[in-house]
A = this chain, B = another copy of it.
Amino acid sequence: MITRLSTLFLRTLREDPADAEVPSHKLLVRAGYIRRAAPGVYSWLPLGLRTLRKIEDVVREEINAIGGQELLFPALLPREPYETTDRWTEYGEELFRLQDRRGTDMLLGPTHEEMFTSAVKDLYSSYKDFPVMLYQIQTKYRDEARPRAGILRGREFVMKDSYSFDMDDAGLEASYQAHRAAYQRIFDRLGISYAICQATSGAMGGSASEEFLALSGNGEDSFVRATGGDYAANVEAVVTQPGTERPVEGLPAAVEHETPDAETIATLVDWANSQGLDVTAADTLKCVVVKVTEPGAEEPELLGVLVPGDREVDMKRLEASLEPAEVAMAEDVDFRKNPFLVRGYVGPRGLAANGVRVLADPRVVTGTAWITGADAPNRHVVGLVAGRDFEVDGFVEAAEIREGDPAPEGQGTLTLERGIEIGHIFQLGRKYTEAFDVQILDVNGKRSIPTMGSYGIGVSRLMAVLAEQRHDDKGLNWPVEIAPYQVHVVVANKDAAALEAGDRMVAELDAAGIEVLFDDRPKVSPGVKFKDSELLGMPFAVVLGRSFAEGKVELRIRCGETLDVAADEAVAKVVELVRG
């Protein structure tokens, strides 16, 4: 097909939009791919829609290939199914809620576990119907607190969500692995740089879960990768290498000291070194007091969290560890209500003595000795040994992760990266099938509840991710498979013969099955045409310029080299490049 710039509904902009911070947002708006309708809500202009649809098709092909069956649920949904799973409430402000003319509560679907589960319940009843893998490519709604970065985090967006239903755990594992492999094929075909990160399953419930994160300095998600292996994980999901247990026998007894003005780790270390102890912050033990509210509980409970003194508590990691409970730092009022909590001098013994649950960083194992608070003003204790002088109620992932921390399984050390979530796969288990009481007759004629997986790809976000990863300072640069047009033919010579030759060339390209964007605008300068061509970012451009008089054209590879080609060989050369 051929689209002429002289008639295409497009206006490119020289200036970045005022509200844009990241390159993909700036470039997609400037190049006329998207247009803002409201905060976090975008219109797809012709070029943008073409690329969106092509991305959808890549996703569709690969999900069909693993046996996915496509259907389409509404975006406007009744409240009841989301009451069944409590997500009507749990989603909080992120859910768009509305009432119809009869005052019936409805919502705009943020994700569709409920709808798929109840469809399977209605249609299927026997193990012979399973496994089944269903999906949709659909417009979703989430009322993000901070819609940002254009279509990178919108409030209306296109998502591919699939759901697997299996009769047993082995089936779920197979469905999960099939999706994992399909996701790799999708992102590989699109040419995205990404990592597969172990993830916590968060509000979705369930067990195993991995996130596909596109590498990007502008990403909102932090994750780690191993220097010596393919391990990658969300910061929330990193499992700390536990310390080595040692026998407590023979260790020196703990000694309390007067430590004035040593309320911080730094001042405590200074004091210890002034006593000739030769220690670092890693030898001190920080006792952080938080409040934990379990779901359904009216009041929070205190919790002591022990981490080596050289590390902060990472609240997101702590929250992920304690999910679904809510966590907050203890405040002044909590210290006042509990006088045994002496700010700056809290220690594990005082917490335990007063019935406060204590969870420790995995490095705080039996036989490790610590300098920590002695539960009295201006007093610390040196050589307090875990497993001898204090016990903990369990371990918790709460300490911050740092560049250079050891990676698991001897895969070297961890590097800290930033990424954009493009896919997420979950082994949900029976959370939703139990909530909807999906009873299926198994091979023995007994009722059994199928187990479920849930798998999402941010389809519209992928377009922004590609723009983030593949632009230069002049504009976009699409991969061939999802470029709105594969070739941009630019007539940059005022000779009528050049326009005629361009016309012939685009007709030949079209006949060869190439999609062509044709800059036939008569009164636009070559300079503006070149700028537009770079901004719009088709992978290849053919320029009929000055050298056309000598029978030559330029074949420009976006973000790559420029070749001088004989005009009558250009079509063949382009076809060769497009077919890769």
Whether a CB of chain B sits under 8 angstroms from the CB of A271 is no
Encode contact with B along A113-126: 1 for CB under 8 Å, 0 otherwise: 00100010011100
- Output the nearest chain B residue to A78 by Cβ-Cβ distance: B38
- CB contacts (< 8 Å) of A8 on chain B: these are 69
A32, closest chain B residue (CB): B123
Q: Is A342 an interface residue (CB 8 A)?
A: no
Copies in the complex: 2
User: Which of A40-54 touch B at CB < 8 Å?
Assistant: 41-46, 48-49, 52
Q: How far is the CA of A143 from the CA of B100 in the complex (A)?
A: 7
Contact among B37, B52, B119 with A74 in the assembled complex (CB-CB below 8 Å): B37
A132 within 8 A of B: yes
Tell yes or no: A106 within 8 A of B by CB.
Answer: yes
Q: Which residue of B lies closest to A132 (CB)?
A: B9
A76–B37 alpha-carbon span in the complex (Å): 9
Interface flags, A475-487, vs B, CB<8A=1, else 0: 0000000000000
Answer yes or no: A164 CB below 8 A from chain B CBs.
no
Taking the nearest CB of chain B, how far is it from the CB of A76, in angstroms?
Answer: 5
Q: Which residue of the partner chain, among B11, B44, B74, B93, contacts A72 with CB atoms under 8 Å?
A: B44
CB nearest to A95 among chain B residues = B101
Does residue A35 face the partner (Cβ distance < 8 Å to B)? yes
B115/A41 in contact, CB under 8 A: no
Q: Is the CB of A37 within 8 A of B115?
A: yes
The answer to whether B71 and A10 touch across the interface, beta carbons within 8 angstroms, is: no
Residues of B within 8 Å of A42, CB to CB, are 74
Whether a CB of chain B sits under 8 angstroms from the CB of A73 is yes
A263 within 8 A of B: no
Which residues on B sit within 8 Å (CB–CB) of A32? 123
B101 contacts A93, C-beta separation under 8 Å? yes
- Contacting residue for A35 out of B37, B48, B122, B145, CB 8 A: B122
A93 to B35, CA, bound (A): 29
In the complex, 22 of the A-B residue pairs with CB atoms within 8 angstroms, ordered by the A residue number, are A9-B132, A9-B134, A10-B123, A11-B122, A35-B119, A37-B74, A37-B115, A38-B106, A41-B74, A41-B77, A41-B78, A43-B119, A45-B71, A49-B70, A52-B72, A75-B75, A76-B96, A76-B108, A76-B141, A93-B101, A101-B143, A101-B145
